[in-house]
Every structure is written in structure tokens, then in C-alpha cells.
Structure 1
Amino acid sequence: MPELVEQMYCSQQIVIPPKFPYILKRYCKAAIKTQPYDLLRWSFEYFKALAQRRPPPVKLRLEYPVFTTEGGLTRGCLKVLANQLSGMTEVPLPVLKQAWGGFCLDPAELRRVLCLCEVYQRKDSVPFLHFLAVAGGLLTKCLTHTMILLCESLTKEPDGGSAAIPVSEFLTMYKFLAKIDASKDVKYVNGFREGESPEPDHVSEEDEIPYEEEDDDDKKLREISATKMSSTQAVPKQGMVAGRQMSTTSGEFIVQHIEKEIMEYIDEQIAILPDPDLKKKKAKPEEVEMIKQMLETFLDENMDIIVPEVEEVEEEEEPIPDIVVVYAVPGIGPPVDMEIMTEFQDYALDVCKVQAELFMPRNIRHFLCPPLEKYEEHKYELSPPPSPKKEQVPTAGVITD
């Protein structure tokens, strides 16, 4: 009993920080506005951002109805991501993944976005405007609506305003999206589009060996050496193969060398024997055995030279390729013709002169604005009009009342 009494708490023992109700109230409001898919994971990211003094992943207001992609991206998430990453021209991929995971979004969708940005497994950072442009294309149905959405996401004005952004940022995103072909499903292997291969590393001009001008003496020496090389190539000497010195590892050279050494060694041993005319006589069995033993010992000592040991090299397993399938994105569509891009760029630069170098969605909706993309005209087949019905007159029978 005394132990239980010591562990009991009362209202005087529990100390509540004075800011705790305010923190809890803000957390509840943020959860209601954001409507996270995974509340536990989102709560961890929310308090982690507050502890690191970063903007938390909280939408500005409740979205209803929610227009979302398969990965969970919404227009509200896109605007908050733009605010969190604003100020960085190049966004490091770890920072981007952290901000993306703060909204509990699907990592597979982020990989598809990075593939369209031509960054996945290639670079450690992604341009901020390129990432935002591709992510905005996932939420619309054509390139024109994508550019309007990007203006609304990047603007610093409150909702309901003109949603103006600098014309340089607008044209940068438009040119990048206009060059992407997202009209069909494409497979990316290790970050490269199917059919493309990584570019070879070109040697820079600084790494090239500087060429020094030759003197007259050097030129004469070079000519003399060239004539000598041509003569040696014409008549190959012993120990030369096709105008070059035979390497010590050549099998033909080794066999000849060993054969010569064996014969010299045998001649020396025979010269020591009591009978110098052994070559003319038939060798005795013990003498043949002696020569065989001498050959065996010689071959054992020089076996490493005759047959060099080949180290077994383990075959390296080829890494499994990382394949990402990027589905067609209607908000980006096929590439835009250069004529259309040039015409719209001239219009945007002309309009922004009287708007403090700003561009806004109402300029896109203006009747003088050229199209941002090529529209496909669908020809509908008209069915022929129905033929009028003819009145049928009875030709037989009895007419009654």
C-alpha cells in the first residue's frame, strides 16, 4: 500500500505547459484542413517540421471535392510544396523526398515525376520550376490548364486575385513542358527513356594533352624511325611477329626457348657420361630413365613459365535494372511545334511590358492570345437524315365505320 500511495497522482502534481492547449488546437485545425491519408505518419512529419522550424505540411484550407491523382497529389498539396521549396533554384532530392513524404504521397509517383524531369538516377538535385511544372501536369487535362494552375500555385497574391507571376518563370516552365512527349506510356530503365543510352563521358579540352610544336631535328628523327619501322615490317626477323617484337608470353616463343634449353641440358649431361659416342649407340634402359627424370624435374621447375596459372575470375552479377513505367500525362501532352512556341513567347513578352514584367491567367484567356498547344480537330460523321414516311393507302378490303 505505501508504494501505491507514492505513485498516485493528483491535479497538483501534473504540470501542463501553458502553450500546450494552443499547440493542440493548431494541430487539430491542421489535421482537419489537410485530411491526411495516414494520420499517424502525417502527425510525425508535422511535429518534426515544427521541431526543425520548417513549414509544416498543412494545406491552406479544406479541399472539397478533392481532385487527386493516383499517388494522392492535390492542388492544395502542390501549392504548399511550392511554398515550402520556394527560394531554391535547385532542390536536393533528399529535401524533396522529405517534403513529398510529409503529405503521405506515393513515392512511385515522385519517381515518375523525376523521370519526366530527366533527373531520376542521373543527378542529385532537380530544378524547382521543372519539378513544379511536371507535378502540375498530373492534375490537369491539357497544357493550357496546366499553365493556369502553375500561375495559381506560384503566385504570392491571395486567392481570387490576378495570380500573376514573373514572365521569366512562366516561359521557363512552358518551354520545358512543350518539349516533353508525354502523350503515351513510356518505360524508363535506370532513369533513361527506353531506346536511349547514357551519353559517353567526353574528354574536356582542359584534360587533353597539349600539342607541342616539333623542331626540325625532331621531324628528321621521326622520319628516320618511320623508315626503319617500314623496313622491319617488310622482312620480319626471328623473334618478330608482324613488325613487332614477340612478347615473352607468346606460346610459340616459349616452346622454342624450352626446347632449346632441354637439348642443351641433355647435351651437357651426355658429355659428362663415360662414353662420348652415346649418340651413335642405342641407349640403355637406365640411361633413358635418367634422361626422363631430368626432363621431368626440368619441366616441374619451369611449369609456371610453360603453362601460366590463370586466376579464376568470378563473374559479376549484372544489377537488376530499375524500371519505371510513366503513364501518359494529358496535362503535358505531345511536343509543341516551334512555331507555336515562338508565337506565344512573342505575345507574352509583348504583354508583360505594361504589366511590370508579370504574366497572369487572364492573359491566356484573352481572345488575342495565340494557342499554347496544337489542338486536334475531330471530324464527326453526320448520319443522313431519316427519309419521310409515306402514307399507306389500302388497296383491298371493306371500308367500315
Structure 2
Amino acid sequence: MPELIEQMYCSQQIVIPPKFPYILKKYCKAAIKTQPYDLLRWSYEYFTALAQNRPPPVKLRLEYPIYSTEGGLTRGCLKVLANQLIGVSDVPLPVVRNAWDGFCLDPHELRRIFCLCEVYLRENSVPFLHFIAVAGGLLTKTLTHTMILLCETLTKEPDGGSAAIPVQDFLVMYKFLAHIDASKDVKYFNGYREGEAPKPETPVEEEEQPQMLEELTDTDKKLREISSAKINADGTAPSMVAGRQMSTTSGEFVVAHIEKDIMDYINDQIAILPDPDLKRKKAKPEEVAMVREILDNYLDENMDVIIPELEEVEEEEQPIPEVTVVYAVPGIGPPVENDLIEEFAEYALDICKLQADVIMPRNIRHFLCPPLEKYDEPKYEDQQTKREEVAMGGVITE
């Protein structure tokens, strides 16, 4: 029992840090304003950001309705994401994923954004302005409203101000969105748009094959000449024997045929070997057998040098590509003509000379501002309305 008594606690033994109530109060307020889908996941990201002195994934105020897109992205989330990632021109993709997961947003929607930015499975980082521009396009219905939203998201002024941003950043985002075709659903295969082939890789110079350290002896050269002479004596290719085409799988037959021809030639040469001691024209049978054994062993060991074997290379199975379906984004729409882009860029640079090189949403809404996109007028079919016929004639009776 004394061990149990030592483990018991009382109110005097529990020490509560003085800042704990303040931290808990801030956490509760942040959770109420953010309304995370997964409270446990969001809590982990919240305290991790506080421990690393990073901006936590907390909205500035409560939004209603909570979700603006199917993936859960809202204007408040976009504002906080911009504050978390700002300061780096090219943001690494893992950093973007961590910030995205901090709000418990749908990863499939992030993949579609990367596909529109042309970095999914292709690059290791994404331009900050491109990412924010495409994400803002998911929250609006036209390209004009997207650019107004981006001004309100990236501005450093308080809410209710002019929402001014540098004109160069504005033009970078506008030109990028203007060249994207997001008017219809498109499939992306391994990050490449359907119908768009990946860029061919630069060919790598093949390493030169190392030369043989030992030079061929006279016997090796003679054997090579014999094999080539025997193969091409009739003017046929090595794969042609007796008028029949040999397949690549019958290499053993070709080797045996060449080895037989070489041995026949060697037997003819051995038969006329002189014997200087006995002064005879023919050698002894023991000497002939010894020479034949040496040649047989030599041919067995060096046949791959005389006739190199061709290895059959099996075709590698191509992996199944990863398919990502990117749905139509009305906030980006179809590509904009270059004439409209240049006309608006001239207008923006002209008015910003008097505004310290910044542009505001009121400049976009001005009646002198050229259109940022081409509006298609709806086509109404001529429908003939049928009128009821009213009787106008007749005789009035009493």
C-alpha cells in the first residue's frame, strides 16, 4: 500500500502554467472561427504552427456558408494560405500540401490546382502567384471577379480599404490565367494535359565502350578470319544456312556450324605438319591429339569472342498513367485573346503611374477599363408566341 499512496495526487501537487487558460481560450476562439472539418487534424496543425512560430491555420472571422467549393476552400482559407506562403516566389510542393492539410481541405482539389499550374508530377515547386491565382479562380464565376478577389486576398490594407496590390503581381496573375483553357472538363495523364506530349529528355551521351586491354594474338586474328570467311563464302548472311533463314533463337546451331568449319580447317593444317626430328611430313598421332585437345579447349573458352551472342531484350511494360480529371473552372474560363490582354496591360500600366504602381478593384470597375475577358452574348431562339384569337365581330342583340 505505500506504493499506491506515493502515486496519489492532490490539488496542491497539480501545477497549472499561468498562461494555460489564455492558450486554451485562444484555441477555442480559433476553432469556432475556423469551423474545421476534422477537429483533431486541425488541432495538431494549430499547435504545431504555434510551436514553430508560424501563422496558424485560423480564419479571421466566421464564414457562412462554411464551404464555397466541394473541397472546402473558402475566401477566408485563401486569405490565410496567402499569408502563410507569402514571401517565397517558388513554394515547394510539400510546404503547400502541409498548409492545405492544415485546413483539412480535399487533397484531390489541390491536385487539380497543381495540374492547372502545370507542376503536378513535373516540378518540385509552384510559383506563389500562380497557385493563389488558380485557387482564387475556384471561388468565382468570371475572370474579372477572380482578379478582384485576388486584390482583396493579397492586399496588406485592412478590410474596407482600397485593396491595392502591386501592378506587376496583378499582371503576372492575369496573364497566367488568361492563357489557361478551363472552359471544359479535361483529363491530365501524369500531370500532362490530354493531347499534350511530355517534352523529350535531352539524350545522354553514351559512354564509350572500354577497349580491350590485351591485343588479339595472331591465333585470335586467324580464327576470326576463318569464321568470317566460312560464313560469307557463299555470299550469305550469318543467319542463312543452306538456303534456309535461321531465326535469332537458333544461335547454338550457328555456333556449332562455325565450330565444325574451323575444326575441319585445323585438321587439314595438322595433317601436313612436318616433324623435324624424324624428318617426316606427317606428325605423330599423339601430337595431333594433343593439338586438337588444346584447340577444343580454346574454342570453348573463346567462342563468345569469335561470335558474340546477341541477347534478346524484353520490352518493359509501361506503367499505368495517373489520370486526374480537372473540371471546368468558370472563374478562369476560356483563353483570352492577346489583343485584349495587351489592351488591358497598357491601361493598367498607364493608370498606375499616378497610384504608386499599384492597382485596385475600383480601377477594374471603372467605365474606361477595357474588358478583361470576352463575354459571349447568349443566343435566344426566336419563339413565336401564339396569341389567342378574340372574336371581334357579331351582332349585338337586345
* TM-score after normalising by structure 2: 0.76
SS at match of 2:28: helix
What corresponds to 1:191 in structure 2?
A: 191
Residue 266 of structure 2 is aligned to residue 265 of structure 1: yes
CA distance in 2, matches of 1:260, 1:184: 71
In structure 2, give the amino acid aligned to 1:11: S
What corresponds to 2:354 in structure 1?
A: 354
CA distance in 2, matches of 1:85, 1:322: 28
Retained in 2: the 8 A contact 1:33–1:63? yes
In structure 1, give the amino acid aligned to 2:16: I
What corresponds to 1:218 in structure 2?
A: none
What corresponds to 2:125 in structure 1?
A: 125
Retained in 1: the 8 A contact 2:255–2:307? no
Residue 91 of structure 2 is aligned to residue 88 of structure 1: no
CA distance in 1, matches of 2:142, 2:18: 51
CA distance in 1, matches of 2:314, 2:21: 64
Higher alpha-carbon deviation: 62-71 or 91-100 = 62-71
In structure 2, give the amino acid aligned to 1:55: P
CA distance in 2, matches of 1:353, 1:269: 101
CA distance in 1, matches of 2:130, 2:68: 20
Residue 175 of structure 2 is aligned to residue 175 of structure 1: yes
Retained in 1: the 8 A contact 2:146–2:332? yes
CA distance in 1, matches of 2:228, 2:8: 100
CA distance in 2, matches of 1:167, 1:182: 24
Structure 1 unaligned segments of length 5 or more: list them.
Answer: 208-237, 241-248, 279-289
CA distance in 2, matches of 1:38, 1:24: 18
CA distance in 2, matches of 1:270, 1:301: 24
CA distance in 2, matches of 1:263, 1:318: 49
In 2 relative to 1, CA 390–89 (structure 1 residues): closer, same or farther, beyond 3 Å?
A: same
What corresponds to 2:35 in structure 1?
A: 35
CA distance in 1, matches of 2:228, 2:3: 100
CA distance in 2, matches of 1:297, 1:255: 12
* TM-score after normalising by structure 1: 0.76
Q: Could you tell me how far 1:378 is from its partner in structure 2?
A: 0.9
SS at match of 2:126: strand
Retained in 1: the 8 A contact 2:69–2:139? yes
CA distance in 2, matches of 1:337, 1:312: 53
In 2 relative to 1, CA 176–297 (structure 1 residues): closer, same or farther, beyond 3 Å?
A: same
Q: Could you tell me how far 1:54 is from its partner in structure 2?
A: 0.6
Retained in 2: the 8 A contact 1:255–1:306? no
Retained in 2: the 8 A contact 1:141–1:330? yes
Map 1:279-298; keep pairs closer than 5 Å: none
CA distance in 1, matches of 2:316, 2:123: 26
What corresponds to 2:3 in structure 1?
A: 3
In 2 relative to 1, CA 5–363 (structure 1 residues): closer, same or farther, beyond 3 Å?
A: same
Retained in 2: the 8 A contact 1:254–1:306? no
In structure 2, give the amino acid aligned to 1:68: S
What corresponds to 2:339 in structure 1?
A: 339
Map 1:73-222; keep pairs closer than 5 Å: 73-201=73-201
SS at match of 1:112: helix
User: CA-to-partner distance for each residue in 1:168-201, whole Å, 9 max, x for gaps?
Assistant: 1111100000000111111111111111122234
SS at match of 2:3: helix
Retained in 2: the 8 A contact 1:344–1:369? yes
In 2 relative to 1, CA 389–317 (structure 1 residues): closer, same or farther, beyond 3 Å?
A: closer
User: CA-to-partner distance for each residue in 1:329-363, whole Å, 9 max, x for gaps?
Assistant: 11000000011111111111111111111101111
In 2 relative to 1, CA 69–307 (structure 1 residues): closer, same or farther, beyond 3 Å?
A: same
What corresponds to 2:251 in structure 1?
A: none
Retained in 2: the 8 A contact 1:67–1:75? no
Q: Could you tell me how far 1:68 is from its partner in structure 2?
A: 1.5
Structure 2 unaligned segments of length 5 or more: list them.
Answer: 206-226, 230-236, 241-253, 274-279, 283-288
SS at match of 2:91: strand
User: CA-to-partner distance for each residue in 1:49-92, whole Å, 9 max, x for gaps?
Assistant: 11111110000110012342111111000000111111111111
SS at match of 1:126: strand
CA distance in 2, matches of 1:89, 1:270: 85
What corresponds to 1:222 in structure 2?
A: none
**C-alpha RMSD of matched pairs (Å):** 3.5
What corresponds to 1:320 in structure 2?
A: 320
What corresponds to 1:365 in structure 2?
A: 365
SS at match of 1:53: coil
Retained in 2: the 8 A contact 1:184–1:328? yes
In structure 1, give the amino acid aligned to 2:56: P
Map 1:11-50; keep pairs closer than 5 Å: 11-50=11-50
Retained in 1: the 8 A contact 2:36–2:104? yes
Map 1:237-252; keep pairs closer than 5 Å: none
Q: Could you tell me how far 1:120 is from its partner in structure 2?
A: 1.1
